[in-house]
A and B are shown apart, each in its own frame.
Chain A
């Protein structure tokens, strides 16, 4: 842990309500009548302010899990609690409200609205929260300032570099002051230098504002910087650096989870 100067324990595990709690959660897709089990019983708690790296081979269920943790999808079995609310019992509008208030998403493909200025892109979640136009712009501009784009407010996505676009997306994810920031391969579309800068930004925001960061990554070095690493394979968690040997071996048998983080 010598490489991690951050306070590892920001009250989350000291008994406060966890940001997200998943107990034996499964998600099975129906594809042309065939059942595809993408997640097969995942149990996981994300404390407030945590920094989690989610790793695993392609198709292991990382994105599926991220969608569930963000309330974008509902589990087919198991119990999922986001910010104290049980997802299974929520209607679509209630789930939308929950996402708006507690979750920020950052996608590999940025997903910015075209023909829409950076500041308006960032302000979008506030629209659905019912915030007035002036306050929306103020908060969005302030957030863009925090991600280092205070001078690009009225630029459109096609006038921004990839790194800048992802910063806009990060600002959009954080403008609502969420509890959890879910980033699915946020640097996957960026070159290594830009990617490193974006990563640094995410870590900085995690430290400064205390938003829990759950990040999918393929990069072992990146994963190593997280406070906690979770490895997945075939829809189950095969290693969790927090759970110790109990979850099936964080040791040498844990597979790809422990890449480079030999604590």
Chain B
């Protein structure tokens, strides 16, 4: 019953000073809303990236020059098609080895044009990466061997160049050279604001001639079995080291890529949440401040309550409850705003946002804890007031 009274008094006090309560809550509202929103964006981004990496296909081993870790710049590749053959021998099946040599290029068809990524690849690509052709066909062995000028278009490129015609069978012009369209990829859609259908595949041999180079940017291997994937990577790196003394190579698995990306995004999310947490803390200081004002304003009331039998604890609980109520209402409002903001961001922008239960639970408990932590001092001050002095207060 005393607790019910404390509850009633606390909520009455907040209602009696609506504007002040709202302004005080604002810090907590903003803090909680930004924690929820930023964690949602961080989580959503991480999920999207993970799905994308996993969607590449399973048992994938990526072989690149240089070291693949946070912050290392991509080296100019010394890899050639001879190295690719060597890797194929190490793997024991050339059909499991894919390559890419990529460059941005303008692609034209009649008066229409599109600047896109043109990738030189092997006919093995669909077997290594999960990539489906919707219409026409993919590259054949002989396309690659003869450097035939044929191309498979990403869905977006096909739509841009041939909005009202079937693309397969048409001629296109890549960086001044004529190619024939033999296929169109099944659409992948957007992720993180990047159009994944904005690319063109041509035979790696044709691409090297087009760009005037012998290089291959990266080699991808679909390992025959999952257990020995690390060992296979080591053997491939050893082979390449033997062929290019003094150059470093790395073979990384999807798990390693996911691990690195996860670390980066995790740190990013943590930093964002911490920044948002600071505003929650500032909000808490505001709560503390306004509670001290509230105690001062109601000094006579405190004196009277003590005179009629309120124990110090009754008074303390009353003010602590008021502080917790402030931050809890602020927290709930902030949660609603954060969730609404996340839904809005996910709906109208390419940034993915995934609201997680743990972030809501965390934000709410933190805001309630802020109320307790920052309400304790004012509540104690109220509880310890000398009733005689309090009754005399102006």
Contact = CB atoms under 8 A, between A and B. Distances in A.
B22 interface: no
A128 B309 contact: yes
Contact of B310 (A70, A73, A96, A176): A96
Interface string B300-314: 110111111111111
A70 B307 contact: yes
A160 interface: no
A111 B311 contact: no
Contacts of A127: 1-2, 5
Contacts of B304: 111, 113, 124
Interface string A114-146: 010000000011011111110000000000000
Given A113-B301, A115-B16, A96 B311 contact: yes
Contacts of B305: 124, 128
Interface stretch (A47-55, A99-107, A199-207): A99-107
A99 B2 contact: no
Interface residues of B, number: 24
A92 interface: yes
B308 A72 contact: no
Interface centre among B4, B311, B313 (most CB of A within 10 A): B311
B388 interface: yes
Contact of A132 (B1, B308, B391): B1
Contact of A99 (B16, B307, B313): B307
A98 to B, nearest CB: 9
B387 to A, nearest CB: 5
A111 B300 contact: yes
B145 interface: no
A93 B309 CA distance: 9
Given A111-B304, A115-B16, A129 B388 contact: no
Contacts of B391: 72, 107, 111
Interface residues of A, number: 27
Interface string B278-307: 000000000000000000000011011111
B93 interface: no
Contact of B309 (A100, A115, A133): A100
Interface in A69-97: 70, 72-73, 92-93, 96-97
A67 B386 CA distance: 11
A229 interface: no
Interface centre among B307, B313, B387, B388 (most CB of A within 10 A): B307
A70 B387 CA distance: 11
A128 B310 contact: yes
Given A67-B388, A127-B5, A132-B1, A105 B16 contact: no
B195 interface: no
Contact of A125 (B4, B308, B312): B308
Nearest to B310: A128
Contacts of B12: 115
Given A113-B301, A127-B2, A131-B1, A96 B309 contact: yes
Given A92-B312, A93-B312, A111-B391, A130 B2 contact: yes
A172 interface: yes
A128 B314 contact: yes
Interface centre among B301, B303, B309, B386 (most CB of A within 10 A): B309
Contact of A129 (B16, B309, B313): B309
Interface in B307-362: 307-314
A199 B394 CA distance: 26
Top 8 closest pairs, chain A to chain B, by CB: A100-B309, A128-B309, A125-B308, A93-B311, A96-B311, A111-B304, A127-B5, A73-B388
Given A111-B391, A128-B2, A128-B314, 11 more contacts: A73-B386, A92-B311, A96-B310, A99-B306, A111-B304, A113-B304, A115-B16, A127-B1, A131-B1, A132-B1, A176-B308
Interface of A: 67, 70, 72-73, 92-93, 96-97, 99-101, 105, 107, 111, 113, 115, 124-125, 127-133, 172, 176
16 contacts: A72-B388, A73-B388, A92-B312, A96-B310, A96-B311, A96-B312, A97-B309, A100-B308, A100-B309, A111-B300, A111-B303, A111-B304, A113-B301, A128-B2, A128-B314, A129-B309
